[in-house]
Chain A
Amino acid sequence: MAELVSVYDYPSDVAMVVRKLKDRGFTDLTTYSPAPFNDVEDAEDPRPSKVRAFHLIGSLVGVVTGFGIQIWMSMDWPIRIAGKNIAAIPPMWIIGFELQTLFGGILVVVGLAILGGLYPRPLDKHYSPRFSAEEFGIVVRCEDRDAAEVESLMRGHNAKEVKLEAAH
C-alpha cells in the first residue's frame, strides 16, 4: 500500500481532486482544512451529517423529561395553586421547552464528539501545523501500482507538493 500526501492553496482545487479521486475509485482519503468549506466536506462525504439524529433524540428526551418530571412531581405531593389543575399542562410548556433545548444541545455536542472523533489523542502522522495555517492537505491510501496515477491527478490540479510514503 502507498500513501500520498499533497498540499494545496485553494479549497476549490481540493474539492476537485477529491471528487476525481473518488470517481476513479480512490475512496480511502482524508482532507485537512484550516477553515470550514462545504465544497470540500461534501466532496469527501456527500451524505448529510448524523448530528441531526443526535439533536432529534436529545430534544425528544428533553421534552418528555420536562413534562414527565413536572407531572410526576405535581402529582406526588398535590397542592392546588391559584385554582389550577394539580398537573396544569399550559405552564409546563415552558420547562418542557427549556429541557428540550438543554438536552438537544448537549446531545448535539455529544454527536460532534463521536462523529468528529473529538477526544484527546495523538494526531495523525500526516497532520501538519501548515493545515491550521492557510494550506490544505489530502492524504490518499492506494495500491502501489496506482500511486503514479494519483500523483498525476494531484499535480494536475495545482498540488504544491506531493509526498509518497509506504503505508503498512
Chain B
Amino acid sequence: MAPPPASAVADGMNPPARPRDSQANIDIMAVTKGFHWPWLIALVFALSGVALAAATLAWQTYEGLGVAGYQAPVFWGVYIITFVFWIGIGHAGTLISAILFLFRAKWRNAINRGAETMTVFAVLTAALFPLIHIGRLWKFYFLLPYPNQRFLWVNFKSPLLWDVFAVNTYLTISVLFFLVGLIPDIAIARDRAVGWKKIVYTIMAAGWQGTGKQWKAHSRAVLHLSGLATPLVLSVHSIVSWDFAMSIVPGWHATIFAPYFVAGAIFGGFAMVIVVMVPVRRIFRLESYITDYHFENMSRFILFTSIICGYAYGAEYFIAWYSAVEFEQTSFWQRAFGPYWFSAWCMIIFNVAMPQLLWIKKLRTNVPFLFVLCFFINLGMWFERYVIIITSLSREYIPAAWGLYIPSLVEMIVLTGSFCWFSMFFLLYLKMFPIIAISEVKELEIHARDHGRSHGAHAHGGAH
C-alpha cells in the first residue's frame, strides 16, 4: 500500500495539549512536584541546624578559637576531622560517575545523579572547614598564591598548599561534571514546566534540544571529564593524606596513607550514598528505578573497600611493631588502649567487623539493614579520622608534650551544622532537579526495546 501524502498527517505533528510523555519523565520529575511531609520536616530540621551552627560560628569568630576546645598540644581538632570526613564522602560520586562510566558499568545510571549531587554538596561542605579552622575567616586569602602586601608567596613545598589546589580543582571539576550531566534533564524539566520554573529551566538548559551534534559533543565531554576526574579523585584524597604523612608525627608518617585514605573515602562515600538514597527511594517511590540490585552492587563495593581498610589498619599496627620504633609503638598502643580507646574500637568494629556481614547475600539485598549498617560505617569513618588526628597529636615524642583533647560544645554544634548544611542543599535540590539521570535511564530502556524488537523480528523471520 502506498504511503499517504505528507500533508495528510501534518495535523498529527502538532504537539498535543498534553504531550505523550515517557514513564521515566513522569516518575522522576514527580519528585520535584507536589508536597511531601517528610521532606518538609527534614528541611525544617536542616535549616534549624544551619541557623544554630551559623550563630555558634559567629560567636566563635567574635571570641576566637579558644572556644573550640583546641589546647596544647592538639591544634587540629573536630574541624579538620570533619573536613577530611566530608572530602571522603565526596569521593563516591566521582567514582560512580567517572570510574564506573569508563568501565561501562551501566548499573550506575540509576544512582549516579544522586551520588554526584552528594559529591558536590559534600565537597562544598568540606571546603568550609579549613576556613572555620583558621579562625580568622577574613584571612583565608593567605592560602592563595596572591601577591600580598608583603610580596611573599605561598610555600609550594607544603602539602597544605597542595591541598588548597586539589580541593578547589576537585570542587570545580565535580560541579562541571554534575552540570554537564544535568543539562539534558533540565531540558526535560523545561519542556514540562510552567511559570517561573520554566524561565529558570530555559536559562539553565542553555538551548539543549538533543540534536545529534549536541549529543555527540556531550558524550565526548562526559568521556573526557571522566578521564580527567578519575586520576583527580585518586589524587585528592592522596594529597589530603599527605597533609599527615609528610610530617614526622608518630602514627602519621606512613607510606600506606594515600591508598588507605582513598579506599576509606570510597568506602565512606558509598555508605553515604546508601544512607541518602534509601529514604529518597522510599519517600518518593522510586523503587522501580533504584532497585535492590543497585544496593547489592554498592554493598559489594563497601565490602571490598572495608577489607582494604581492614588491611590498612592491620598494616599500620604491624609496621609500628616491626619497625621497633618506640614512638610509633607507643602511639599505636595509645590508640587502642589509651584515653581514646573508644574511638579506635568504634573505628575497627564499624568499619571492618560489621561490614563482613555483607558476605551474606540476604543482607546485601536487605535495604533497611544496609541503611543501618551504612549509618554506622559513616560513624566509624568519622572516628577513623578522629583516631588518626587526635591520638597522634596528643601523644607525640616527649611525655612533657602530651595532652588531652576533648571537643567543645561549639565544635559539636558546628559538626552537626555541617550535616544540616549538606542536607539543606540536598533537600532543596530534590525539589528543583531530577535526582535520577533521566536521559541515561531512558538510554537503557530504549536500547533494550530496540534490541528486543530487532531480536523479535529476526526470530520471526527465522521461523519462516
Q: A residues within 8 Å of B by Cβ?
A: 4-5, 7, 10-12, 18, 30-38, 40-41, 43-45, 48-49, 51-52, 55, 69-70, 73-74, 76-77, 79, 81-82, 84, 88, 91-92, 94-95, 97-99, 101-102, 104-106, 108-109, 111-113, 115-121, 123-124, 127-134, 147, 151-152, 155, 161-164
Contacts and interface: CB of A to CB of B under 8 A. Distances in A.
A43 B216 CA distance: 11
Given A10-B446, A104-B224, 16 more contacts: A11-B447, A18-B212, A34-B439, A35-B210, A36-B218, A44-B216, A52-B224, A55-B228, A94-B166, A94-B239, A98-B235, A111-B217, A116-B214, A130-B19, A131-B209, A163-B6
A49 B424 CA distance: 39
Given A11-B450, A113-B206, A162 B443 contact: no
B9 A31 contact: no
Interface in B193-216: 202-203, 206-216
Given A101-B169, A113-B206, A124-B209, A4 B6 contact: yes
B152 interface: yes
A161 B173 contact: no
Most buried by A among B172, B183, B210: B210
A163 B13 contact: yes
Interface stretch (B50-58, B115-123, B131-139, B184-192): B184-192
Contacts of A51: 217, 220-221, 224
Contacts of A11: 446-447, 450
A77 B447 CA distance: 60
B202 A120 contact: yes
A59 to B, nearest CB: 8
Contacts of B442: 34-35, 134
A91 B154 CA distance: 14
Interface of B: 3, 5-7, 9-10, 12-13, 15, 19-22, 25, 145, 151-157, 161-162, 165-166, 168-169, 172-173, 176-177, 179-180, 183-184, 187-188, 191-192, 202-203, 206-221, 224-225, 228-229, 231-232, 235, 239, 439-440, 442-443, 446-447, 449-450, 453-454
B455 to A, nearest CB: 12
Given A34-B442, A123-B207, A97 B235 contact: yes
29 contacts: A4-B6, A10-B449, A33-B210, A33-B211, A34-B442, A35-B443, A37-B446, A37-B447, A45-B216, A49-B217, A51-B220, A55-B224, A73-B153, A98-B169, A106-B172, A108-B225, A109-B176, A109-B179, A112-B217, A112-B221, A113-B206, A118-B208, A120-B203, A127-B209, A129-B192, A132-B184, A134-B446, A161-B13, A163-B10
Contacts of B235: 94, 97-98
Given A36-B219, A101-B228, A74 B156 contact: yes
Contacts of A32: 209-211
A105 B226 CA distance: 10
A15 to B, nearest CB: 10
A112 B225 CA distance: 11
Given A95-B165, A162-B9, A115 B450 contact: no
B172 A105 contact: yes
B61 to A, nearest CB: 30
Given A4-B6, A120-B203, A155-B3, A112 B212 contact: no
B454 to A, nearest CB: 7
Contacts of A124: 209, 211
A94 B165 contact: yes
A59 B145 CA distance: 20
A130 B20 contact: yes
